[in-house]
């Protein structure tokens, strides 16, 4: 079974731009969660989607948004990028939320 894939793997953007990251979950997994990982804050939960609906949301500003498609693939968008948005963005999929999550390799976003 193929693992979780994320594209792109690396991205460089400038302040004020927006970015869209993509995640393809493991086949059959309906829950997709997004996390931000930084050296200073560690792993922080962004949001979770299940069957195209956002079920849970972490404590991030409205500039961070996401969506899930009918095939469970998910995208997250960050608008008006700030330097502090530089981070590794991780996507994880699971059959449902409170089950073991399988992480993708992440997208390394650098904002200059």
Binding site for other proteins (CB under 8 A): 4, 33, 35, 42-45, 48, 55-56, 58, 90, 92, 97-106
Tell me the closest approach of the beta carbon of residue 48 to other proteins, in angstroms. Answer: 7
Q: How much is the CA Rg of the chain, to the nearest whole Å? A: 13
Provide DSSP, 23-58: EEPPTT--EEEEEEEETTTEEEEEEEEETTEEEEE-
Kindly tell me which of 79 and 88 has the beta carbon lying closer to other proteins: 88
Tell me the closest approach of the beta carbon of residue 16 to other proteins, in angstroms. Answer: 28
Sequence length of the chain is: 112
Kindly tell me which of 2 and 98 has the beta carbon lying closer to other proteins: 98
């Amino acid at each position: 079974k193929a693992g979780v894939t994320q594209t792109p793997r690396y991205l460089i953007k400038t302040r004020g731009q927006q970015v869209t990251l993509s995640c393809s979950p493991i086949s059959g997994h309906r829950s997709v969660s997004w996390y931000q990982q930084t050296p200073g804050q560690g792993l922080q939960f962004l949001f979770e989607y299940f069957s195209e609906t956002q079920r849970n949301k972490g404590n991030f500003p409205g500039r961070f948004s996401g969506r899930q498609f009918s095939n469970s693939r998910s995208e997250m968008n960050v608008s008006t990028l700030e330097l502090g948005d530089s981070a590794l963005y991780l996507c994880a999929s699971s059959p449902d939320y409170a089950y073991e999550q399988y992480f993708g390799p992440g997208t390394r976003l650098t904002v200059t």
